[in-house]
Amino acid sequence: NILYIYIMILTLLKESIVFAWVALLANKLRTFLSLLGITIGIFAIITVFTIVDSLERNIRGSVQSLGDNVVFVMKWPWTFGPDYPWWKYMNRPVPVYSELAEVERKAKSIEAVGFRIGARKVLKHNNNTIENALVSGWSYGYGQVKSFEIIDGRYFREDEAEGGYNVVILGHTLADGLFPNNEYPVGKTIKVAGRNCKVIGVFKKEGESMLGNTMDNQAVVPYNFARLFMDVKSENSDPFIAAKAKPGVTNEQLKDELTGIMRAVRGLKPMADDDFALNETNLLSKNFDGLFDIVGIAGAIIGGFSILVGGFGIANIMFVSVRERTNLIGIQKSLGAKNYFILAQFLFESVFLSLMGGIIGLLLIYLLTFAADGVIDMEITLTRSNIILGLTISVLIGIISGFIPAYGASQLDPVEAIRTN
């Protein structure tokens, strides 16, 4: 019995594919126009999902590079929306370097803590100049909080950080711009904001970041050197303290401790509101989740209309196919073919046609990802889950569009069907 079922299914598949292929060849224009809707619909939906997934991976990767177990003491909180009370935060003071020492001295739950500022400055080496390069001033401890990798040279020593030595670690893109033709940068002297600075390291290339926190376009110097040419008390320099929790310490525990320390450092009264924000990476992730959901829904709606049109096209093909093969249906039924056999035959044919449209759409997306690699500095990948989703939608559209014509064919009277011209 099982063998008979397998043989019957294979026969159905074979006949359905043959009939569908004959219909394709016999009515090329009609089939092309009908499948175009499915192709465009799958292309629209899966393209949106592919881009959203790629953006999400990039952004989440950028967020993860900030550290899951890191809390940032800042002026502005990482919360957004129409009810954002900016007027409450506008007059807050920015974190200052002296507060770093108090946090470092009093906090028991931190593994590392650091301070960072940044500003756009000019970098120069011989005749090579980079305008508006991001120069970041780090305390020594920030190098233990921030995730990065140095491929040439080294990180600055603690005595270099405390003494404000004029040393710099260059991002990969900046190093290529200042030292073209494979010139080795480590040990060379460049000018940072008009001051001589020795290159002691080069960061590993990270690629583009949606949050703009890639190390490729940054030049890192010790904070005590950076304060010579940066306004460390200005909000424009984006100063903040970053604290990394010890293993086993939750972010909530770390935030509770930092809240007490910062309130004491700033002399806030018990009933006074905090004049600082404690930010963590999951706040950024939550803000982007809503955006991704909206874009995904919009793409699904746009693609859904195209698929709806394509579904009507498939149904039209199947109605025509049933009418053209009415005599054949009558002969099959007179020879003993059951209703379910006729039903399944036309359903398989409908699914096959819809799958062809879906596969073409997926192939177009696959080609688009290759074209995007040369234009966009971000990896766009057609994932296995999106491929499965595209094929599943195609099969469902084939079943839905082909069921009524297939059911109608299965219910034909064999005598009347044979007589039909």
Q: How far apart are CA 35 and CA 333, in angstroms?
A: 30
Q: Longest C-alpha distance within the chain, in Å?
A: 101
User: What is the reported pLDDT for 156?
Assistant: 93
- The one-letter code for the residue type at 24 is L
Q: How far apart are CA 277 and CA 95, in angstroms?
A: 10
Apex 239 CA angle, 255 and 252, nearest 5? 10
351's tokens? 């699914």
User: What is the reported pLDDT for 419?
Assistant: 78
Task: Give exposure, 252-284, as e/b (b: 16+ Cβ within 10 Å).
Answer: eebbebbbebbbebeeeeeeeeeebbbbbbebb
Q: How far apart are CA 114 and CA 137, in angstroms?
A: 11
If DSSP codes are grouped into helix, strand and coil, which group holds residue 142?
helix
Specify whether the CB–CB gap between 138 and 222 falls below 8 A.
yes
Neighbours of 161 (CB within 10 A): 24
User: What is the reported pLDDT for 341?
Assistant: 77
User: What is the reported pLDDT for 80?
Assistant: 67
User: What is the reported pLDDT for 210?
Assistant: 56
φ/ψ (deg, to 5) at 349 = -65, -45
If DSSP codes are grouped into helix, strand and coil, which group holds residue 185?
coil
pTM over 0.75: no
Residue 15 CB burial class (10 angstroms; 0-12, 13-18, ≥19): middle
User: What is the reported pLDDT for 115?
Assistant: 95
Apex 145 CA angle, 169 and 135, nearest 5? 35
User: What is the reported pLDDT for 198?
Assistant: 95
Instruction: Indicate the DSSP class of residue 237.
Output: G
Q: Which residues of the chain have pLDDT under 70?
A: 1, 16, 19-20, 23-24, 60-68, 80-82, 208-213, 282-289, 374-378, 421
Considering Cα of 98, then 100, then 104, then 107, what sign does the dihedral take? Answer: positive
User: What is the reported pLDDT for 133?
Assistant: 92
Q: State the distance between the two ends of the chain, measured CA to CA, in whole angstroms.
A: 38
Q: How far apart are CA 175 and CA 190, in angstroms?
A: 11
DSSP lists the bridge partners of residue 202 as 152, 170
Neighbours of 78 (CB within 10 A): 17
170's tokens? 């260059």
The owner of tokens 């069907």 is 417
